Structure 1
Amino acid sequence: MKQIVSGLFLALLVSVMSLSVADAQMLPTTTTTSTATDNADVSLDEMSPEAINAMVARMSDDEVRAVLLDRLDAVAAATTSEEAPRTLIEQATLLWNAFSQPVLDAVRKTPGLFPSQFEAFQNFGTNHGGPGGVLTLIGLTALILAIGLGVEYIVRTWLIKIRNPEANQGHASLRESIVFLFKRFLREIFGLVIFYVTIRIVGRNILDAQQVTFVAPFIGYMIWMPRIAAAFSRFLMAPNRPDLRLVNVSDRWAGFIHRHLIGIVVLGGATIFVVDFNVLNGVPAGETRIGFWIDTMVYVYVGYVVWTAREGFSDMMRGDDPNRTDFDEALGKAYPYFALAVAGFTWVLVSTMIGLGKVQLLLAGAHYATMFWLLIAPVIDTGIRGLVRHLVPPMQGEGKVAEDAYISTKRSYVRIGRVIAVGAVLALIARTWNVSLLDLMQNREGIGDNLFSFAMTAIVGYVVYEGVSLYINRRLAAEMTALGMSQEDADNEMGGGGGSRLSTVLPLLLVTAQGTIIVIFGLLSIGNLGVDITPLLAGAGIAGLAIGFGAQKLVTDVVSGVFFLVDDAFRVGDYVEIDGTMGAVEKISIRSMQLRHHRGPVHTIPYGEIPKLTNYSRDWVIMKLKFTVPFDADPNRIKKIFKKIGAEMLQEELYKDDFLQPFKSQGVFDFDDVGMIIRGKFMAKPGKQFMIRKEIYNRVKAEFKANGIDFARREVRVALPDNVAELPKQDQAAVAAAAAAAAQQQQQEGENPTVKGPD
């Protein structure tokens, strides 16, 4: 029985007893004397399986059962002691406690703030030899600063002759402004490098190690960092040179923001310096919480600056682009409130991290870097729009189509730039918090990786979406601008030349491409969140099959439309006739087309209902004009007049490119009861025939008048006898009444009667 029990439980004993050395030593020592004596000082982890088997063989069934129960109780206790996953409410409670406890702790310790700080100053004086040593340290610090500033001035101004760059007062181009400001910025940075190297060399030679622990942080946080901030601010704000300013802000707010930006950096540096100073002088950071109060003053200061200069910040965010959108206006108005929210959120974040005990990153200034990158958004956005405005090629062509294309191109580039800027800012913020994006991409596990993959896929999809839309819209605008069809032609009569084949297909291609990109990257993004997209794909396939069977008419319309486009049967702008319905093709979609009648109504016709299509706007148009002249007019003379008019119009800049064949006479076409019908014709480009026809009518009328040729009109001829004057008055009155009645009848029929006497 012992061998069977030992064989069954050997593996369990080996695995369970090897959990830890401490747990392994918890075996009961009150069994038998031999067992206790043999194994009292032996760890089970050090025993071989054979030794454990031998030990079990010497034990009774009750002893083995007792050992197993003790070990299982120990394992259950260890498992129970492990922290169970927190619920959402527990996590929220934990975060609230982490945020509120440091605040309450700082309030409780406020009465001891000044005594503790006085203690830190006393310890500082003691560590540096009393008041005399402190005065000596202050003097040495002033001497180091004076030497550093002096060497900076001498090297920068005299030795290598780096003068302040000069720029002409008045309006300067963007390139001139950037060159001037960048040269000035490099000059300041070069001076700061000289200053840093000088004070480092001098400080190492005249200060001891203990003095350096005070002087180095003081100069770094209170002088070095504010000077760097001032250099960057002067580059962007140019408070004294509004003609060179890179951001859209008034002189008043540029100076205000510049001054207080330096003040914010000074106060932020003071937070880190004071905390380090107290720690080095025997006052722990948690004893006074002075760092909390100074840090809080930083956020209050930021809120004061943002709220006071909210008009200036809004102007900066709007920029000076004349083609601002409603989104740009809304963004400009909302930015000051966003900045206030960022300052408040950063304060809450800092307090929470202190409560969680993660203060190392705060001492490195990660929270200030985060707030900086979030608050500098107006400058980044203004820079993107400025670069786009100056780097995008100038508008091609003229008119509303070209202008809309130019504005659309700029907006697409701005949106792409904003997405890239957001990604770069998030990467920089992640770096300040020691979060490596490369590690996130390599360690593909956890919800953090899912969210990161989702965000990256969405960003890439959006950039692809904007890029494809930008390319197709630019091609479409170029095609439509190249058509050169005037608004006057569209307003007169339809029937002109339509768009190119590419301009007809591109809108459909754009919609198809956008839909495809949205579907593909949408599914990829959902998949990156851990959602199984296989059911979605299967559902889409079933839905497509159902649509195919249940909407055969829709399929017929779509397929018919594809073949019409392949056959190039019509294009946008063509004047067509479909089963008695006429109009210009105004819009096409996947299943139908819209025709605009020349009187205004719009007809929507599915492709599947088009039995045949007549296109009046392809390649060329022949227009024939009829002129009725009296029977006694000379046709040859009229032919010469028509030829002269055709030759003159071929020389006119306004008409010569629209003719394919000149205007000429076709001779006598017909006779009627009024006169001879002379016909002329010309061949022109589609859409240009109406303007040419109008001009030909004007010129023919003028030439006929100059050559004494009248247009034939319907006439009422009344033949009177030669002796009408000898007739009785009663007969004369009857003749006059008959002539007037005939004239009135012709007038009612819309004719222009002419009453003539006998020839």
Structure 2
Amino acid sequence: MLAISYSVMQSSPMVLIRFIFLSLLLTFPASAQDILTGQVTSVAEPDTSSAAVDDLIRILEDDAARAVLIERLQQAAPDPVANEAEAAAPDLSIARQLAEYTRGVAEGASATVRSVGTAIGNLQQVFSGSMSADSGALREFAINIGLLVVALFGGFFVLRLIANGLGRGIAARAAGGGLIRRLMGLVGLILVDAGSVVLAWGLGYGLALNFGTTPNGQMGINQSLLLNAFLIVEAVKLLVRLVLVPRFPALRLLPVTDGNAAYWSFWLGRIISLLGYTFLFVSPMLNSLVSRAAGSAIQVLAMATAVTIGIIIVLQNKDDVRAWLQEISVRRDNDGLGRALAAVGRQWHVLVIVYLVALLVVWFANPETALPFMIGATVQSAFAILIGSLVIGFITRFVSAGLSLPDDVRQRLPLLETRLKSFVPAVMRVVRWIIIAAVVLAIGQAWALFNFAAWIGSDEGLAVAGSVVSAALIILAAIVLHVVVASWVEYRLNVNFGRVPTSREKTLLNLFKNAFTIALVVFGTMLALAQIGVNIAPLLAGAGVVGLAIGFGAQKLVQDIITGIFIQFENIMNEGDVVAVGSWSGVVEKLTIRSVTIRDLSGTVHLIPFSSVDQVSNMMRGFSYHVAEIGVAYDSDIDAVKAAMHEAFELLMQTEHKDEILDELDMQGITAFGDSAITVRARIKTLPGKQWGAGRKYSELVKTVFAQHGIEIPYPHVTYVPAGGSAKGRLPAEPADNGPDGDVD
């Protein structure tokens, strides 16, 4: 403005006079309004303006005085070039920012100290101001407010006694009942308590309107303040009582002991009454009757008392809360969240005390804006923590309770429940951490640490959120698809439902499930990475290079896979077949594209890669034969031997193996002449894999029939000849150890 004034003064003296006159009008807005409108609203203000105008006119008429004024204005005028340079290039150095921050902290601390001193001075003004107050106002307060207080709280005390009696009856009827009955009893208790508050409030209003010192039908503002404060405070205390229900444990829904319910109800009620009646009644009343300083002093005293009570409560419950958090940590097996809770439990009282003291100091410094902000942020943080705790508790109970499927589904899909129990806890853990992150974001948003809501509403935030949600949906869809396909394969392999699967179907379905799982993991991962902005083209190129390197460096693996593919195409063996692969024979337990897993007769499991397989012998294709080669003595009647073997076969057809035999006994006769026996061979055709059981039973029957017909089965003998003497006796030689017979049942 000074620069503009200087440029105006260079033009003409009359313009200068008009400019200075307008400046005076702006400086004294009340006087300017009077002069411009021609109205006089005060006596002192027009005189002051007229004197200032007369002095200005005298200065302008005197050449020397006018020159001095112009010189002073020139000296006071700022340099516009310097201002523009300073505005164009602000100092953003770290030192400047640190200086600005420390200056703000110092000014805030100074304001806090001054506010505390002012509050202490206001306490003195309570007494001095009240002594000098109007005696009529004090008499009106003593009569109207005093009678209203006695009637209001006396009537409320009587109504509370009646409400407690009704509440005991409601609790007695609801005791031992179910949840619905307890909820109905709690609703009844709400109506009774709320009715006592409303009746006492109405009684107070009726007394204030008809029995005060004011005319009938009118009431003082202080009476209205008291009644409104009573209604609000008692309504809040009613909510606390309904949550904790200290007097009627039968209606309490929270898992809180009677001692804790009474303790917290008592202290919360006292703090609510202290702050509520102070800020809603006592402080406004003192503002009108005594002074604003008196009202502010009472507010300071109430806040300091409330914070002191809060610190005492924290110190009293320090050990209990620490033990409670430690118990939660132990119950969670000291996982990440459990260890965090245990660490908070060791120092939680210090954090809460620092917060309460900071709340009091901030309120001293700036009660208009800082205190509402801290209270609002605290309430929002507590609400976010409460909602997050409830959701996490529900998830924890759901996971700990387990997942139980109906019996018919469990019979059709016996592995589905196990599969879901392995997937659901992992998914729930991810959801739990997502909820914890959401609670942290809500707390940061409440305390204005960052503006997450604005960021998520921006184009960048929407893009990031959309990418993350899309990637999560892709992973979730892949998990669901895997469960569906695995369950379908499991259902197809279940022999209790539908058509009994063949060995070929078992092999191909298991191979399909494994290949589908691998493909699903690869493509699901690639799509999820693409959604969050990862360029998967280098990954695909790298996968090709890695595949080429594997092709050169892992030739055995490639040979395994190629041989396995041809074995599957040729369908030479399937799961459940008895095969001889290389030097091992046994039952095929698992068949992949690279190897075969075999369990032999002794129960040993062998993993055989296909690159080491030269041939595969399958003993369970179409049908099988039990080959019976029996040695008889040279002097035996061969026809009698054959007849005995037929007789043993007829006995076999009368046993449990008859349904396994496909044809009559194939008698092939003499096949070899040994040193001491003639070998007679016969074959029994059976279902695939049933030849070993039927063969063992047939051998038992042949031994029995031969013994009945006197047919000798020769075996080697050993003659013992002592040194220098003749043979003293003959001992039978042990049968030759011909190795395992290879029978597999």
TM-score normalised per structure 2: 0.60
Match of 2:229 in 1: 217
Spell out, residue by residue over 1:273-318, the C-alpha distance to the aligned partner (whole angstroms, 9 max, x if none).
2455564233327983642552364366356436314444555688
Q: Which amino acid aligns with 2:514?
A: T
Aligned equivalents of 1:472, 1:84: Cα separation in 2:
57
Match of 1:63 in 2: none
User: How many residues align structurally?
Assistant: 623
Match of 2:53 in 1: none
Deviation at 1:137, TM superposition (A): 3.4
Spell out, residue by residue over 1:342-370, the C-alpha distance to the aligned partner (whole angstroms, 9 max, x if none).
74685477468646763353586542452
Aligned equivalents of 2:130, 2:665: Cα separation in 1:
117
SS of match in other structure, 2:395: helix
What aligned pairs does 1:4-403 form with structure 2 within 5 A after superposition?
22=1, 25-33=4-12, 71-76=80-85, 129=140, 133=144, 135-143=146-154, 145-146=156-157, 149=160, 164-165=173-174, 167=176, 177=179, 179-191=180-192, 193-195=194-196, 197-199=198-200, 201-207=202-208, 208=219, 209-221=221-233, 223-233=234-244, 254-263=257-266, 265-266=268-269, 269-270=272-273, 272-273=275-276, 274-276=278-280, 279-280=283-284, 281=286, 282-284=294-296, 288=300, 290-292=302-304, 294-295=306-307, 297-298=309-310, 301-302=313-314, 304-305=316-317, 307-312=319-324, 336=345, 343=352, 346-347=355-356, 350=359, 354=363, 358-359=369-370, 361-362=372-373, 366-371=377-382, 373-374=384-385, 378-386=389-397, 392-394=403-405, 397=410
Aligned equivalents of 1:100, 1:370: Cα separation in 2:
26
Contact 1:402 1:477 in 2 (8 A): yes
Change (3 A) 1:568 1:365: farther
Change (3 A) 1:553 1:228: same
Match of 2:714 in 1: 715
- After TM superposition, the structure 1 stretch with the greater mean CA deviation from structure 2, 373-382 or 577-586, is 577-586
Aligned equivalents of 2:239, 2:507: Cα separation in 1:
63
Match of 1:548 in 2: 544
Aligned equivalents of 1:431, 1:202: Cα separation in 2:
45
Aligned equivalents of 2:388, 2:513: Cα separation in 1:
39
SS of match in other structure, 1:383: helix
Q: Which amino acid aligns with 1:682?
A: L
Contact 2:595 2:609 in 1 (8 A): yes
Match of 1:676 among 672, 681, 687: 681
Change (3 A) 1:127 1:751: closer
Spell out, residue by residue over 1:86-105, the C-alpha distance to the aligned partner (whole angstroms, 9 max, x if none).
98856975897699779878
Aligned equivalents of 2:624, 2:539: Cα separation in 1:
53
Q: Which amino acid aligns with 1:258?
A: A
Q: Which amino acid aligns with 1:145?
A: F
Contact 1:593 1:604 in 2 (8 A): yes
Change (3 A) 1:429 1:328: closer
Match of 2:529 among 519, 537, 540: 519
Deviation at 1:264, TM superposition (A): 5.7
Gaps of 5+ in 2: 23-74, 209-218, 287-293, 497-504, 632-640, 673-677
Spell out, residue by residue over 1:445-483, the C-alpha distance to the aligned partner (whole angstroms, 9 max, x if none).
8xxx85x98678657755764565366347646755875
Aligned equivalents of 1:101, 1:228: Cα separation in 2:
40
SS of match in other structure, 1:515: helix
Aligned equivalents of 2:577, 2:334: Cα separation in 1:
36
Match of 1:507 among 507, 517, 520: 517
Aligned equivalents of 2:134, 2:692: Cα separation in 1:
100
Contact 2:175 2:250 in 1 (8 A): no
Aligned equivalents of 2:258, 2:566: Cα separation in 1:
64
TM-score normalised per structure 1: 0.59
Gaps of 5+ in 1: 1-21, 44-65, 169-175, 248-252, 487-494, 524-535, 651-661, 684-688, 721-728, 753-759
Contact 1:346 1:367 in 2 (8 A): no
Spell out, residue by residue over 1:498-522, the C-alpha distance to the aligned partner (whole angstroms, 9 max, x if none).
8645542453255336634652454
Higher alpha-carbon Rg: 2
Percent identity over the alignment is 8
Match of 1:411 among 417, 425, 429: 425
Q: Which amino acid aligns with 2:265?
A: I
Contact 1:275 1:285 in 2 (8 A): no
Aligned equivalents of 1:642, 1:469: Cα separation in 2:
54
Spell out, residue by residue over 1:130-187, the C-alpha distance to the aligned partner (whole angstroms, 9 max, x if none).
55555423323324535765896899999xx99853545xxxxxxx55x455444444
Change (3 A) 1:213 1:34: closer
SS of match in other structure, 2:7: coil
Aligned equivalents of 1:345, 1:586: Cα separation in 2:
65
RMSD: 6.5
Q: Which amino acid aligns with 2:228?
A: A
What aligned pairs does 1:273-672 form with structure 2 within 5 A after superposition?
273=276, 274-276=278-280, 279-280=283-284, 281=286, 282-284=294-296, 288=300, 290-292=302-304, 294-295=306-307, 297-298=309-310, 301-302=313-314, 304-305=316-317, 307-312=319-324, 336=345, 343=352, 346-347=355-356, 350=359, 354=363, 358-359=369-370, 361-362=372-373, 366-371=377-382, 373-374=384-385, 378-386=389-397, 392-394=403-405, 397=410, 404-412=418-426, 414-415=428-429, 418=432, 421-422=435-436, 440=454, 444=458, 465=475, 468-469=478-479, 472-473=482-483, 476=486, 479-480=489-490, 483=493, 500=510, 503-505=513-515, 507-509=517-519, 511-512=521-522, 515-516=525-526, 519-520=529-530, 522-523=532-533, 537=535, 540-542=536-538, 544-549=540-545, 551-554=547-550, 596=597, 598=599, 599-600=604-605, 624-628=625-629, 631-632=641-642, 634-646=644-656, 662-664=660-662, 667-668=665-666, 671=671
Change (3 A) 1:38 1:437: closer
Q: Which amino acid aligns with 1:291?
A: M
Deviation at 1:127, TM superposition (A): 6.3
SS of match in other structure, 1:679: strand
Q: Which has the higher contact order (CA 8 A, sep 6+)?
A: 1
Spell out, residue by residue over 1:195-247, the C-alpha distance to the aligned partner (whole angstroms, 9 max, x if none).
565455445444444233234335534x4334323433469x99669xx9776
Contact 1:113 1:290 in 2 (8 A): no
Aligned equivalents of 1:550, 1:497: Cα separation in 2:
29
Aligned equivalents of 1:119, 1:111: Cα separation in 2:
13
Aligned equivalents of 2:117, 2:419: Cα separation in 1:
64
Aligned equivalents of 2:594, 2:205: Cα separation in 1:
83
Q: Which amino acid aligns with 2:482?
A: I
Change (3 A) 1:507 1:134: same
Change (3 A) 1:498 1:434: same
